[in-house]
Amino acid sequence: MKIALITGASSGIGREFAVQIAKLYRNLDEIWVTARRAERLEQLKKELDVRVKIYTGNLCDDEIYNKIEAALKNENIEIRMLVNAAGYGKMEKVDAGDPKEQCGMLDVNCRALTRMTMLCIPFLSSGSRIVNIASAAAFCPQPGFAVYAASKSYVYSFSLALGAELEKRSITVTTVCPGPVDTEFFERAGALPSKEKAAVRASASEVVKQALLDSVNRKTISVYGMPMKCARIFAGILSDRLLTRIMKRINHIN
Ligand SMILES: NC(=O)c1ccc[n+]([C@@H]2O[C@H](COP(=O)([O-])OP(=O)(O)OC[C@H]3O[C@@H](n4cnc5c(N)ncnc54)[C@H](OP(=O)(O)O)[C@@H]3O)[C@@H](O)[C@H]2O)c1
């Protein structure tokens, strides 16, 4: 049975992946979705014109991985696409931050993404794809958002290296690096100053459409929109010191 597995499918970017994958990839037998909010996943299931299997749980607990692993083994599953979208950010200075929230980002954004990927690798078939959601925050250090940006640098580096390892099995890994996207993300992260947000924000549907296109074209990095493409170029040219100072100013850190 051919499936796509999507984490973080209860809202925002992950949910949008489920919607677009269901429309575009008619050869899939099922889409498997995970998140903690069961009612959101049930609602998504009603909206999709494909069989949906729900795995509710916290990606920081063992239980969800055990359930998915058992199902993968028992049901003769071929994963055609894995989308690791679950994640969160919390804008706080490190010296004033809540350690649980800050370290929790490492647990979800890095550890859970790595664990889900390692769990799925044996079930990924030749020509299949992994899509990992990093962020444009991966491009440079971000005072005021230090742990989040570092966690996304991990996703960026990990995904590039993994892609090279899986090349011989014809499995593509695409790292998606969006700037601000209109989702519930900012409710937990804390709002960006509205001027900057309005200038560069994108919709989840635009970002996901581009990501799926880039993944089909076997690209390793997907960056939506001119502002973020420019940010990536500047991050490659400017010194780390200068970049960090610029981000400190943009994030209004004194
Ligand atoms: N929005 C942006 O501006 C932006 C920009 C760049 C990158 N990103 C990245 O895009 C990804 C998706 O974010 P989004 O914007 O779509 O935010 P979102 O709407 O808040 O979605 C986050 C998703 O992650 C899930 N999740 C969070 N913690 C979890 C946990 N412990 N266990 C299981 N699931 C968990 C949430 O589900 P439950 O709460 O139901 O568990 C939800 O489905 C994240 O990795 C984020 O870092 C976002």
**pLDDT for 164-198, tens place per residue?**
999 999 999 999 999 999 999 999 998 665 666 67
The pLDDT score that the predictor gives to residue 36 is: 98
The protein residue with its alpha carbon nearest to ligand 1, atom 7, reads 135
The pLDDT score that the predictor gives to residue 197 is: 65
Does residue 38 line the site of ligand 1, with CB under 6 A? no
Amino acid identity for residue 94 in this structure? V
Cα of 247 from ligand 1 centre, angstroms: 23
The pLDDT score that the predictor gives to residue 254 is: 82
Whole-angstrom distance, CA of residue 20 vs CA of residue 131? 14
Q: Which two tokens stand for residue 25?
A: 């990839």
Q: Which residues of the chain have pLDDT under 50?
A: none
The protein residue with its alpha carbon nearest to ligand 1, atom 2, reads 181
- Give all domains of the chain, ordered by start, each with its CATH number: 2-250 (3.40.50.720)
Could you identify the residue written with the tokens 């799926």? 212
**pLDDT for 125-142, tens place per residue?**
999 999 999 999 999 999
148 tagged catalytic: yes
Nearest residue to 223 (alpha-carbon basis) of 133, 149, 91: 133
Ranges of beta strands (E only) in the chain are 2-7, 30-35, 51-56, 78-84, 124-133, 172-176, 221-222
Whole-angstrom distance, CA of residue 204 vs CA of residue 27? 24
The protein residue with its alpha carbon nearest to ligand 1, atom 43, reads 8
**pLDDT for 147-166, tens place per residue?**
999 999 999 999 999 999 99
The pLDDT score that the predictor gives to residue 152 is: 98
Whole-angstrom distance, CA of residue 222 vs CA of residue 199? 20
The pLDDT score that the predictor gives to residue 235 is: 95
The pLDDT score that the predictor gives to residue 72 is: 97
Residue to substitute in 5, 6, 7, 13 for testing ligand 1 pocket (most ligand atoms within 8 angstroms of CB): 13
Does residue 11 line the site of ligand 1, with CB under 6 A? yes
Does residue 205 line the site of ligand 1, with CB under 6 A? no
Cα of 168 from ligand 1 centre, angstroms: 31
Residue tagged active-site, from 25, 65, 88, 148:
148
